[in-house]
A and B are shown apart, each in its own frame.
Chain A
């Protein structure tokens, strides 16, 4: 090319393009990483913290996901803006000449030529030329003779990608830190709510009738109610039972519509409260069973539990972990819809059991002050000495002084229950690894004189909590009056006995006595 100005122009355009591409490459990786993390946050959570038993609150998870996607889009937009600015900047004619100077090892000859032959300011640049300008022009032509601009200015992907990967790593790190800050151990209610929501999504996805859509909505409502700590338990239960009824209704309709094709249709009917499950089958007969629900209200308190667990319908008794109900299987009825229905019933039953458990553990939590007659008063020892399941009063409740003889194995995990339910998933059961204060779960209690209980070991106890009886208060007149409201103990409390001393040892062996006193003892 004979015109060095054209060569500089071509180089300028190429440098500008490469600069813009480089900037975009820098921005693309972190942006795509952020967007991908935002979109895949749920599967990532299932594969990582979900496996460890932690979860993101649905609202926070969605917010984090949105934030990541937004950040990715913002990074892309910023990359576009910066790339455009870089394109404009790098497209400078004189700057391109300076770049050529460096590449060709010239001593600012090209940049001088560019200054004196800048197409953007032809008049001013021409005015600065001297009689020596032709020498410079010829020199530039000679320098550009073997120059291939495309080969000289190649697209280098490595450097921007390396830089980009650093940014992408930073985005991923930010996501990890954010999730570390937001992730929580889910409560059983959260877990159950998530399961119900998943079932609702599945039903909504495969819905073929308005009933299915209504059922999905009911299940979602039940899940929301289950997780809503402000709702009273009755309301929660009502929602769950409503969902159950809707599920039954939908299942019945489906079974009726397919009764002609099938040999028999099982009618599942889960009943609340007694743990019985009944199943009726047109062809396979009916079955009944009595199950001990793993989600029974006594579960977390250790010991046997019974009572409030729900058995699933008879034709799926083998699948129901919480029930022992037996029913004849109607193999013809094992369709996908029925399985989903069974699963739904199972989960709804668990949810209801959770509500009952929570209600039983904290009777005052139903937002009806006054219902709990024990509120504010000490439990009388021996009131319910054998109560191990069901509605146990919260021993840490104000005024609830632990009583001897009851719940001896309170701290012993339930042997027969679902181990999952024994985990303290961030609940108020006293584990302090999430910064919660200890509750009665870790507290030791006193024994009555002569009572033989489990060996008390306070060696590993983190806290020892005492409750002292209130002092007698004086009235307005200055007279000392008895505080009749204060909690009073009806049974004398003593400390747990110390380790027994060996009485057969001589007195001086029992306790070391200074030698000068030994004669006195003898």
Chain B
């Protein structure tokens, strides 16, 4: 991608966005078989400036996927394996005593959170204290150690994984932290043909190398420009009202809430959910070659953006009602405003 995006024409910028996104997907697909939707959502979250919660059993290639994406985009990558004895300083970093020119001084040693793409593996195994240490970094894109604030270099994205099994000895993420993830994507098991392809690629001698789209020095700037382009996508007032009605429809007792919502939910999505919906819909519009959001773009974003923001009640769990099924009902029943 040659020309500096800010100097290019709007049409060129839109075209570049689609091209970069498509090539990033292709590069990741060279090492990750299947999971195209997960890859797409991960890249979408990156361009939206959000974080992703990935849920799936071990061995599906979560770490490999994130690593491949960072390599393709030329971004730095760090991985944190969350364990019960992991301390916040292990993530954020700490002051270490150093000696230079005869002087001893404390020097900040950044933790693994200082990277463009951070993979928090099995985040629910860490204690709430450690989990909350990630909160500030995720939301504010900065950390504070001994009164000194350190800004995290943009772009910054945290991809946390959760294992849906082996829940013993885990600390489920609090709702406040769940809300900070723009998406929750579920990685399913590969299909037989995909599994065969995985075996071919990983057990042979062939080495797959990813071609970075940007040089590491230019990558952050290029990604930030693309993020700015996403925010320039326009949304009509009726569509904004639709998003508001979706949020209201998913909130128990909210305006336009369907009966299932009132029956099975304790809490609905927060305004962050609406922000996530709009940003994701904007990326979808750009990927479709449009500079304005459509209803389909919004509908496509509803489930990944809101599924982890709905707090099911006991009745829903007893009846095995999922948040996805409730969201699908909401999409089906809500009327799309014309004006």
Contacts and interface: CB of A to CB of B under 8 A. Distances in A.
Interface of A: 92, 94-95, 98-99, 107-109, 111-116, 128-136, 139
A419 B90 CA distance: 116
B291 A132 contact: yes
Contacts of A132: 10, 14, 229, 232-234, 291
B288 A130 contact: no
Given A94-B237, A94-B339, A107 B232 contact: no
B236 to A, nearest CB: 4
A132 B229 CA distance: 9
B10 A131 contact: yes
Nearest to A108: B294
Interface string B258-301: 00000000000000000000000000000010111111110000
Interface string B223-261: 000000100111111110000000000000000000000
5 contacts: A108-B236, A111-B238, A132-B233, A134-B10, A135-B291
A133 B239 contact: no
Contact of B236 (A92, A111, A135): A111
B232 A108 contact: no
A115 B236 contact: yes
Interface residues of B, number: 23
Contacts of A112: 234-236, 239, 292-293
Contacts of B293: 108, 112
B11 interface: yes
Contacts of A94: 236-238, 338-339
Contacts of A99: 338
A114 B338 CA distance: 12
Nearest to B296: A107
Contact of B234 (A95, A98, A107, A128): A128
B339 A95 contact: yes
A94 B232 CA distance: 21
Contact of A135 (B10, B296, B339): B10
Nearest to A128: B234
Interface string B287-325: 010111111110000000000000000000000000000
A107 B290 contact: yes
Most chain B CB atoms below 10 A, which of A92, A98, A113: A98
Q: Which 7 A-B pairs have the closest CB atoms?
A: A107-B294, A112-B292, A112-B236, A132-B291, A130-B232, A98-B338, A115-B236
Given A95-B339, A135-B10, A135-B14, A116 B238 contact: no
A113 B288 CA distance: 17
Given A98-B339, A108-B294, A112-B292, A133 B238 contact: no
Nearest to A93: B339
A108 B240 CA distance: 12
A126 to B, nearest CB: 12
A132 B296 CA distance: 20
Contact of B290 (A109, A115, A128): A109
Contact of A115 (B237, B288, B291, B294): B237
Nearest to B11: A135
Nearest to B298: A108
A109 B297 CA distance: 12
B43 to A, nearest CB: 20
A430 B338 CA distance: 67
A336 to B, nearest CB: 70
A115 B233 CA distance: 14
A341 to B, nearest CB: 74
B288 A107 contact: yes
Given A95-B339, A98-B338, A135-B11, A116 B294 contact: no
Contacts of A133: 234, 291
A440 to B, nearest CB: 68
Contact of B291 (A95, A128, A136): A136
Contacts of B232: 130-132
A92 B238 CA distance: 13
Contacts of A130: 232-234
Contact of B292 (A92, A108, A131): A108
B234 A136 contact: yes
B18 to A, nearest CB: 13
Most chain A CB atoms below 10 A, which of B236, B238, B288, B297: B236
A108 B292 CA distance: 7
Nearest to B229: A132
Contacts of A98: 238, 338-339
A115 B296 CA distance: 18
A203 to B, nearest CB: 66
Contacts of A139: 291
Contacts of B338: 94-95, 98-99, 111
A111 B14 CA distance: 20
Interface in B4-55: 10-11, 14
Contacts of A109: 290, 292, 294
A246 B141 CA distance: 112
Given A108-B239, A111-B338, A130-B233, 7 more contacts: A92-B339, A98-B238, A107-B296, A112-B236, A128-B234, A132-B14, A135-B291
Most chain A CB atoms below 10 A, which of B229, B235, B292: B292
A13 to B, nearest CB: 16
A353 B295 CA distance: 84
A107 B296 CA distance: 8
Most chain B CB atoms below 10 A, which of A111, A112, A116, A136: A112
Interface in B127-174: none
Most chain A CB atoms below 10 A, which of B293, B297, B338: B338
Contacts of B235: 112
Nearest to B239: A108
A135 B290 CA distance: 9
A132 B10 CA distance: 6
A134 B13 CA distance: 13
A111 B239 CA distance: 9
A112 B291 CA distance: 10
Contacts of B236: 94, 108, 111-112, 114-116
B338 to A, nearest CB: 4
Contacts of B297: 107
Interface in B202-238: 229, 232-238
Nearest to A102: B338
B296 to A, nearest CB: 7
A381 to B, nearest CB: 82
Most chain B CB atoms below 10 A, which of A108, A113, A116, A139: A108
A116 B295 contact: no
Contacts of A107: 288, 290, 292, 294-297
B304 to A, nearest CB: 20
Contacts of B339: 92, 94-95, 98
A183 to B, nearest CB: 48
A113 B293 CA distance: 11
B13 to A, nearest CB: 8
Contacts of A92: 339
A116 B237 CA distance: 9
A109 B291 CA distance: 8
B14 A108 contact: no
A94 B292 CA distance: 15
Nearest to A115: B236
A136 B292 contact: yes
A107 B293 CA distance: 8
Nearest to A94: B339
